[in-house]
Amino acid sequence: MSQLTTELPHDGAGSPNPAPLWTAPAPRSSPWTRRPPVILVIPATIGAALFVLPLLGLLVKAPWEQIGTLLAAPEARDALWLSLVCSLSATILCVLLGVPLAWVQQRTTLPGRSVLRAITTLPVVLPPVAGGVALLYAFGGRGLFGWLFNRDTGIQLAFTTTGVIIAETFVAMPFMVLSMSGALQSVDHRIEEAARTFGASRWTVFWRVTLPLVRPSLIAGTVLSWARALGEFGATITFAGNFPGRTQTMPLAVYVALESNSDAAVALSLVLVAVSLTILISLRRQWFGQL
């Protein structure tokens, strides 16, 4: 011990300063990271090409001199506007319904929570077409609940713009639930309990304490839900159909344009790609680190 003390730096009074005995060396790149083995580089290059080449194909084949005219066409304009309205409406529903749903799954002791969690995240892995079929037989004109709703209100959900919003909400809400569930699980409960001891109601604690603590995850879940809703195809075409001006969103317009006007399909695809890349770049610090 005396050996360690004599080696520490001293101040003017002769007493040792509280300096650390050992400091970790700065990380340096190793030969392994500077020169990875070829057996890993080759499949990594092939895997990267699987993502880069399709984007390169879009950029090369894009009719840049006509892209403004193509996007201003009535069909493209209607699809763009319908996609914007429906995706934003679905995102609002994802926030209003998904946040409470995530809270119930994480903060309550209701029986069957694990089953509920599996069901609410099922659309993430479920083929969208299968989800559309399920929606059709639940909320369609002859569905399990759709005919009751139609009989009592006279409103038909399937094959309408409302059906597009329902389909997009169905496939997008799991992203909100997953984002919020992870954030709620990591929140220190002692902070919320401290607010309760000062007389705050449960709603006040949720609104003034819990939500500010999970705001980054709430923003990320909202953006991802909107992106998923904007790009939805399978459930929409199955449950809402493909009617121009009423249910034909951008992905459906791309599918139709491939048969008649490939330039318009490329232009619309570029818009979707640009939106998706913008979202990923905006979330890079939270999920992927600094790019």
pLDDT value at position 218?
A: 93
d(CA 69, CA 76): 10
Instruction: Show Cβ contacts of residue 10 under 8 Å, excluding neighbours closer than 6 positions.
Output: 16, 17
**pLDDT on residue 98:** 95
Fold for the domain defined by 72-288: MetI-like fold (1.10.3720)
Angle in degrees, CA 21, 24, 28, rounded to 5: 155
Q: What is the pLDDT of residue 7?
A: 46
Domain ranges of the chain: 72-288
Q: Per residue in 125-183, pLDDT tens?
A: 999 999 999 999 999 988 888 888 888 888 889 999 999 999 999 999 999 999 999 89
Q: What is the pLDDT of residues 178-193, one digit of tens each?
A: 999 989 888 888 888 8
Q: Is residue 87 within 8 Å of 168, Cβ to Cβ?
A: yes
Query: 0.75 cut: is pTM over it?
Result: yes
Could you tell me the end-to-end alpha-carbon distance of the chain, in angstroms, rounded to an integer?
47
Q: How confident is the model at residue 8 (pLDDT cuts 50, 70, 90)?
A: very low
**11 vs 194: which has the higher pLDDT:** 194
**Average pLDDT of the residues in 53-70:** 89
Q: Express each pLDDT in 21-59 by its tens digit.
A: 455 555 555 555 567 788 888 999 999 999 999 999 999
Handedness of CA 123, 129, 131, 132 (dihedral sign): positive
CB 236 within 8 A of CB 98: no
- Whether 243 and 86 have beta carbons less than 8 Å apart is answered as no
Q: Which residues pair with 16 in a beta bridge?
A: 10
| C-alpha–C-alpha distance, residues 33 and 132, integer Å | 46
